[in-house]
Amino acid sequence: MHVGEDNMVKEKSNSYWIASTKETNYPKLSEDLSVDVAIIGGGMVGISCAYYLKNEGFKVAVIEAKRIAEGVTGNTTAKITAQHHLIYDSLIRKFGEEIAQQYASANIWAIEEIAKIIEQNNIDCDFIRQPAYIYTQSEDYIKQIEDEVKAAQKLGIKASFDTSLSLPFPIKGAVRFDHQAQFHPRKYLLPLAEKIPGEGSFIFENTRMKNIEGENPYTVITDSGKITATYVIIASHFPVYDHFGFYFARMYESRTYALAMKIKEKFPGGMYLSAESPSRSLRSQPYEDGELVLLVGEEHKTGQHKEAAEHYRKLQEFAYEHYNVETILYHWSTQDCMPIDDIPYIGRITSTAANMYVATGFKKWGMTHSIIGAALIRDQIMNRQNPWEEVYDPSRFTPLQSIKKFFEINADVAKELISGKLEIPEDTLRDLKEEEGSAIEIEGRRIGAYKDDKGEIHLVDPTCSHMGCELKWNDAEKTWDCPCHGSRFTYTGEVIEGPAVNSLKRIKLGE
């Protein structure tokens, strides 16, 4: 196979979802105000919470550090599915059939709830029903797939076993879920967001939370004002405030890469994900007078790969090997919070916190879990019974199911924290080429340096403002990434993703 000379990975990453929709322009918070509910984060969880709660008569304020629906929500694969890799047999074995049933029922409900919201609000968002498949090319996964089919059927999911698929490569077997769906996430969310402002409710963009003080009511401190609220919802992907919930010790962050391409052949429909690693996810998306094919994969822990651009190249090689690729129009990466027991944390942020809620740890399945999270939190605020509280309870104690993963995650954090402090940079300013970044040593001090395309040098303190881990340079996105808890920063030091809320210190030579 010969891919040819392609500069795609050298260009700035660009999500199709963001590029194909209008830029939002909500105001920045400019004065102190009081509402019933303050929502930190303007992605799918935050907008969904605001939509539900405003409909119930609450006055809400959504604050987003940048632009709404441009973070994880704007970089998703946008599958609306109850098929979350090979999870149901594992859930039954680890937690029992009752908990597994709650998880399955919640996600089946979420698919239909999104469909209902789309219909009720007459939203044109490329919503299409599709079957979803987990396939394998290895005999080693056949029994796991067969067990998954049986487990899913036991839980009421329309699942079946297939031995062949309309893919350009052979498979050994696949589990099929019928009546799943896909959509364009921003075409769905932006019309919902438009319904929120007014009647005492607000959306504020470019408004970063710095701290939360008090209780009953809370005061949310931002970089441009204060919001007083009876209820606070942390919907910032990774909690930027965890009220001693220690979420940083119960999750890690994982990066995945995506290409959106035009191919000469017709894509067969359906949504596909490999059981084995490196993962390969495929689905199509309506595009102009044809379609795009989305190819996603190459997972790794955030901040723990020296050449992130290599992951784009590997996806590109896979694409050219199996398809007649006309052009690759978009490429981007995304980040997922991976919980230690494979189940998200949704509900009261801790057992002792009054009126503060969280929705996080969606693994790679944020579309259904966002709407589940919004509905569950709405019900808790309104003191309604919700059938899924137990499975998603953030305060659950699952030592037998998660203790090994807990120690693995935190041992890795400790290793990265110590090794980063001991690392002696090898590069100097003279070594930097244009559009390259690296940790360098100047007068015995570790400094993060980046040379832009005009030759200007940008220097920052490459110590994460969250908990002090040493950041690693991401050559694909031109960012500083934290290998401990997944915070990410621009080359000038601004926060891209939390849990960090403070920028990096900029360095001037001679300081």
Can you give the residue ranges of every domain in the chain?
A: 423-497
Reference 188, options 372, 379, 330, 43; nearest CA is 43
* Torsion sign over Cα 426, 432, 433, 435: positive
Taking the C-alpha atoms of residue 215 and residue 382, their distance in angstroms, rounded to an integer, is 18
> To which H or E segment does residue 148 belong?
helix 142-154
Which residue carries 């890799």 as its tokens?
85
The reported pLDDT for the residue numbered 9 is: 47
Where the chain has pLDDT below 70, the residues are 1-12, 303-308, 397-430, 443-444, 509-511
Q: Are 190 and 177 in contact (CB under 8 A)?
A: no
Q: How far is CA 120 from the centre of its chain?
A: 27
Taking the C-alpha atoms of residue 191 and residue 366, their distance in angstroms, rounded to an integer, is 19
Q: What is the DSSP pairing of strand 457-460 with strand 495-497?
A: unpaired
Reference 178, options 160, 165, 166, 163; nearest CA is 160
Reference 130, options 335, 256, 273, 276; nearest CA is 273
The reported pLDDT for the residue numbered 318 is: 97
The reported pLDDT for the residue numbered 390 is: 95
Instruction: Give the pair of three-digit tokens for residue 441.
Output: 């040593």
Q: Which residues contact 167 (CB under 8 A, 6 or more apart)?
A: 135, 268, 272, 282, 322
Instruction: Give the pair of three-digit tokens for residue 428.
Output: 């100097």
Left (φ > 0), alpha (ψ -120 to 50) or beta: where does 363 sit?
A: left
The reported pLDDT for the residue numbered 402 is: 53
354 phi, psi to nearest 5 deg: -90, 120
Cα distances (Å, whole numbers) of residue 370 to 90, 100, 108, 452: 22, 18, 13, 37
The reported pLDDT for the residue numbered 304 is: 63
Q: Which residues contact 257 (CB under 8 A, 6 or more apart)?
A: 296, 297, 298, 308, 311, 312, 315, 331, 332, 333, 476
DSSP per-residue string spanning 266-304? PP--SEEEESSSS-EEEEEEEETTEEEEEEEEEEEETT-
57 phi, psi to nearest 5 deg: 100, 5
Taking the C-alpha atoms of residue 361 and residue 411, their distance in angstroms, rounded to an integer, is 19
Instruction: Give the pair of three-digit tokens for residue 244.
Output: 């001693």
Cα distances (Å, whole numbers) of residue 335 to 73, 76, 365: 10, 9, 11
- For 167-206, strand residue ranges (E) read 173-182, 202-204
Q: Are 227 and 63 in contact (CB under 8 A)?
A: yes
The reported pLDDT for the residue numbered 495 is: 87
88 phi, psi to nearest 5 deg: -75, -40
The reported pLDDT for the residue numbered 401 is: 52
Q: Are 241 and 63 in contact (CB under 8 A)?
A: no
> To which H or E segment does residue 144 belong?
helix 142-154
The reported pLDDT for the residue numbered 400 is: 52
Reference 367, options 80, 85, 71, 86; nearest CA is 80
The highest-level CATH class for domain 423-497 is mainly beta
The reported pLDDT for the residue numbered 1 is: 43
Q: Which residues contact 244 (CB under 8 A, 6 or more apart)?
A: 350
Taking the C-alpha atoms of residue 142 and residue 275, their distance in angstroms, rounded to an integer, is 10
